[in-house]
Chain A
């Protein structure tokens, strides 16, 4: 039984990886953004077409990435390519926190590293604490299933921040092999 399950996993992975190989080979070199007029959510007959900026114009000059908006937003901000305001009317400061949280309840996957820094450069503590995450490492019952349903990290990742298919950006730190509990 166990072997059967393992082989299902293996076959899935192999099929998936070969697909990904094909599409990586196809998409890697050029970044492309749909123009507003045929992006499928703007009415091609709307008078906004021609007024709204096409994503390619603004995004192609920002540091590249392979997923989401195809922009590395963390880098774009840190390197000063963009200077989004911290306040409605002025540029001020946000409280920044540099601590990383390591989350180890990840089964076979590498551990998750949550960087406070990248997040507090974009938002304040109240964006997450305490309505999404408790202010105590290990206190929030985060699981991948909930994340995939838009909770916890999935509140932002997958909707606005880099998508959930980028497993290794969150599951980014090796774990010392432990005896299974």
Chain B
């Protein structure tokens, strides 16, 4: 009896889940923003008067395996989760492991990284998660 009730609950849960997923998949594409996998990093930029940073995964994964950044360089799998700042970058950590004038152009090109409009919150663009559970949180989100 209990088992049946559980399955009933499962049914309800999945009706809702599938409905939500279908809505986000096929919502009018006019709202589509950014490229899938683009990450905005804005823990400090706004407060420091710099435009937030945009990190494009599509661009970097053509050149490096995930393992290089997420293994060797220690980037956690979490937008905004690495507490990156310029001191660390100049010291050769995170973006600075490559953006040092050797593997890639160096940090004097501020605006190429700091290219988002001021006020854009930390997030992964186009993520299923973002669309599904945080549609209204885009403005105030503070990932911690």
Contacts and interface: CB of A to CB of B under 8 A. Distances in A.
Interface of A: 1-2, 5-6, 8-9, 12-13, 15-17, 19-20, 22-23, 27, 33-34, 39-43, 46-49, 51-53, 55, 58-59, 68-69, 71, 73, 82, 84-89, 94, 107-108, 122-124, 126-127, 144-145, 148-150, 154-160, 163-165, 180-181
A35 to B, nearest CB: 10
Chain B interface: which size bin?
Answer: 35 or more
A123 B71 contact: yes
Contacts of A51: 112
10 contacts: A5-B11, A12-B18, A73-B61, A88-B72, A122-B67, A123-B70, A144-B17, A148-B132, A148-B133, A158-B129
A38 B72 CA distance: 34
B87 interface: no
Contacts of B40: 41
Nearest to B15: A9
A34 B67 contact: no
Contacts of A145: 13, 17
B129 A165 contact: no
A94 B65 contact: yes
Interface in B32-51: 32-38, 40, 51
Contacts of B133: 148-149
Interface string B8-41: 1011111101110111111001001111111010
B5 to A, nearest CB: 10
Residue from A86, A89, A107, A163 whose CB has the most chain B CB atoms within 10 Å:
A163
A73 B115 CA distance: 26
Contact of B65 (A13, A123, A157): A123
Given A88-B73, A160-B37, A127 B66 contact: yes
